[in-house]
Structure 1
Amino acid sequence: MEYLLQVKIGALFGLLLLTLIFGFIPARVTWFRNTNGTETHRTVLSLISCFAGGVFLAACLLDIIPDYLEDMNTALDSNMMEINFPLPEFIMAVGFFTVLILERMVLNCREMRGTVNEWAPLIQDNRNGHGHGHVHGSTVLEICIAILVHKSIIVFSLSVKLVQSAVRPVWVVAYIGVFAVMSPLGIAIGISVMEAQLAAGTLIQAVLEGLAAGTFIYITFLEILPHELNSPGKQLLKVLFILLGFIVMAALTFLG
Structure 2
Amino acid sequence: MDQLLVVKISCLAGLLVITLICGLIPAQVKWFQINMARGKHRRILGFIGCFAAGVFLGACIMHMVADALGDIQEEIKKHRQQGVSMHKQNSTSEVDDDSEMYPFGELVISFGFFLVFFIECVVLHCCPTAVHSHGDHDAHEDNKDPPESHSSFRAFVLFLSLSFHSVFEGLAIGVQKEKTSAIQLCLAVLIHKAIVVFSLALKLVQSGTQGRWRLLYLVVFALMSPIGISVGIGVSLSNSDGSGLAQALLEGVAAGTFLYVTFLEILPYELRSHESPLTKFFFIGLGFSVMALIAIWA
TM-score (norm 2): 0.72
Q: Aligned pair in 2 of structure 1 residues 19, 6: CA closer, same or farther (>3 Å)? A: same
Report how many residues are paired.
Answer: 250
Superposition pairs of residues 47-126 of structure 1, within 5 angstroms: 47-80=47-80, 82=96, 83=99, 85-106=102-123, 111=127, 116=129, 119-120=130-131
Match of 1:230 among 257, 260, 272: 272
User: 1:123 Cα deviation (Å)?
Assistant: 8.8
Task: Please list the CA deviations of residues 9-57 of structure 1 after superposition, one character each: whole Å capped at 9, or x if unmatched.
Answer: 3333322222121111100001112414222111111111100011111
Aligned match of 1:174 = 216
The answer to whether the aligner puts 1:136 opposite 2:170 as a matched pair is: no
Q: Aligned pair in 2 of structure 1 residues 197, 89: CA closer, same or farther (>3 Å)? A: farther
**Sequence identity (%):** 43
User: 1:209 Cα deviation (Å)?
Assistant: 2.2
Q: 2:14 and 2:266 mapped to 1: Cα distance?
A: 27
Q: 2:73 and 2:8 mapped to 1: Cα distance?
A: 23
User: 1:79 Cα deviation (Å)?
Assistant: 2.2
The answer to whether the aligner puts 1:155 opposite 2:197 as a matched pair is: yes
Q: 1:218 and 1:162 mapped to 2: Cα distance?
A: 17
Q: 2:60 and 2:78 mapped to 1: Cα distance?
A: 26
Higher mean displacement: 127-136 or 224-233: 127-136
Aligned match of 1:23 = 23
Higher mean displacement: 47-56 or 88-97: 88-97
Q: 1:88 and 1:124 mapped to 2: Cα distance?
A: 38
Structure index of larger Rg: 2
TM-score (norm 1): 0.83
Q: AA paired with 1:87?
A: F
Retained in 2: the 8 A contact 1:122–1:223?
Answer: no
The answer to whether the aligner puts 1:244 opposite 2:286 as a matched pair is: yes
Structure 1 portions without partners, runs of 5+? none
Aligned match of 2:44 = 44
Q: AA paired with 1:169?
A: G
Structure 2 portions without partners, runs of 5+? 82-95, 147-168
Q: Aligned pair in 2 of structure 1 residues 73, 162: CA closer, same or farther (>3 Å)? A: same
Q: 1:230 and 1:242 mapped to 2: Cα distance?
A: 13
Q: 1:123 and 1:222 mapped to 2: Cα distance?
A: 17
Q: Aligned pair in 2 of structure 1 residues 97, 3: CA closer, same or farther (>3 Å)? A: farther
User: 1:207 Cα deviation (Å)?
Assistant: 2.1
User: 1:233 Cα deviation (Å)?
Assistant: 3.9
Q: Aligned pair in 2 of structure 1 residues 86, 164: CA closer, same or farther (>3 Å)? A: same
Task: Please list the CA deviations of residues 147-184 of structure 1 after superposition, one character each: whole Å capped at 9, or x if unmatched.
Answer: 01100100101111111122222222222233223333
RMSD of aligned C-alpha atoms?
Answer: 2.9
User: 1:97 Cα deviation (Å)?
Assistant: 3.0
Higher mean displacement: 239-248 or 98-107: 98-107
Higher mean displacement: 122-131 or 221-230: 122-131
Q: 1:182 and 1:122 mapped to 2: Cα distance?
A: 30
Q: 2:11 and 2:195 mapped to 1: Cα distance?
A: 16
Aligned match of 2:261 = 219
Q: 1:211 and 1:122 mapped to 2: Cα distance?
A: 27
Q: 1:190 and 1:103 mapped to 2: Cα distance?
A: 33
